[in-house]
Amino acid sequence: MSSTPQLPPVAKLEQKTVVDLIARGKRIDERGPDSYRPIQIQVGLIEKANGSAQVSLGKSKVLVGVKVEVGEPFPDTPDEGVLTVNAELVPLASPSFEPGPPGEMAIELARVVDRGIRESKAVDVKSLSIQKGKKVQVVYVDVYVLDHDGNLIDAAAMAALGALVNAKVGKFEMKGDEVVVKPGHHPLPINNYPVAVTLAKVGKTILVDPSLEEEQVMSARLTVTTDKNGSICAMQKGGLSGFTVDELKRAVELAVQKAAENRAKILAVAKG
């Protein structure tokens, strides 16, 4: 069952400072309303994964590992590979994260990242079939949150894209009834580059890339994932309030612009 979240007891004074600054067009870390915190991307840190990427968004840190294994296709798509995204809010990342099965925050994070990749057809699942109806490649995208200082969705989506672009797999072949993997360094078939941009509404102001302090005072949140052509492929509103239609239009416009900037940064590292 989903419950109204219990916010950590941030001093009322601190909340007021954050809100007052934003109302005056400033932010607690001195950014402008439409600037991101510094973005750092590293790829290939985990040798045992097919692909990996770590993204730092200010002090937020997310590691994504991609593993490609052999599995069975879903009955309704017998000739398509399988893509699954899972997210773990590791307890070392925040005092509010606890061990145990994923809660709604982890599930939402995974599903929003998943929708961006799936709906933009970033991974060409058709070419991941090994034997129709029987064997396909299964791409596991595991999001591992290491340090939570806000805006995990954008960091996770960027790291997932980086890890997918970075991934190298062997060649999967049928030998009789068995699948054998010939060693090799083939890239995954990636056709699109979805990038998520999250905006927060504080008072009447719309900000990109909310930090944890800002997330704790925002009234609502919107994630817009856009593909390489600037089309929208996923959206998710969160938070206890909402947006007006005009705010949504502005937010989407800003998201498309920011996504293009961030996409260039990720690809420069991941493809490099």
Partner 1 sequence: MPEPKSPELIDEKGIRIDGRRLDQLRSIKLEVGVLDKADGSAYVEQGKNKILVAVYGPREAHPKHIALPERAVLRCRYHMAPFSVEERKSPAPSRREMELSKVIRESLEPVVLTDLYPRTTIDLFVEVLQSDGGSRCAGITGASLALADAGIPMTELVAACAVGKVQGRLALDLSDAEDKHGEADLPVAFVPNANLVTLLQMDGLLTTAEFEKGLQMAVEACKTIHTMQREALKKKYHEIKEVVEEKEESEVVA
Pairing between strand 232-238 and 220-226? antiparallel
Of 115 and 148, nearer to partner 1 (C-beta) is 115
Burial class (CB in 10 A: 0-12, 13-18, 19+), 79: middle
Q: How far is the CB of 220 from partner 1 (least distance, A)?
A: 8
Build a one-symbol-per-residue string for 92-121: x at contacts with partner 1 by CB under 8 A, - elsewhere: ------------x--xx-xx---x--xxx-
Of 3 and 183, nearer to partner 1 (C-beta) is 3
The answer to whether 265 contacts partner 1 (rule: CB under 8 A) is: no
- List Cβ neighbours of 218 (8 Å cut-off, separation of 6 or more): 200, 201, 202, 210, 239
**What are φ and ψ of residue 117, in 5° steps?**
-70, -45
d(Cα 74, Cα 138) in Å, to the nearest integer? 11
- List Cβ neighbours of 250 (8 Å cut-off, separation of 6 or more): 206
The answer to whether 160 contacts partner 1 (rule: CB under 8 A) is: no
Q: How far is the CB of 32 from partner 1 (least distance, A)?
A: 23
- Give me the residue label for tokens 């930090």: 211
**What are φ and ψ of residue 174, in 5° steps?**
-85, 130
The answer to whether 11 contacts partner 1 (rule: CB under 8 A) is: no
Pairing between strand 195-202 and 205-208? antiparallel
The answer to whether 190 contacts partner 1 (rule: CB under 8 A) is: no
Build a one-symbol-per-residue string for 54-93: x at contacts with partner 1 by CB under 8 A, - elsewhere: ----------------------------------------
Q: Number of residues in contact with partner 1, rule: CB under 8 A?
A: 37
C-beta separation of 72 from 58 below 8 A: no
Among 15, 237, 260, 265, binds partner 1 (CB under 8 A): 237
d(Cα 22, Cα 261) in Å, to the nearest integer? 23
The answer to whether 260 contacts partner 1 (rule: CB under 8 A) is: no
The answer to whether 230 contacts partner 1 (rule: CB under 8 A) is: yes
Please report, as ranges, the residues that interact with partner 1 according to CB under 8 A.
1-4, 6, 104, 107-108, 110-111, 115, 118-120, 222, 227, 230-245, 248-249, 252-253, 256
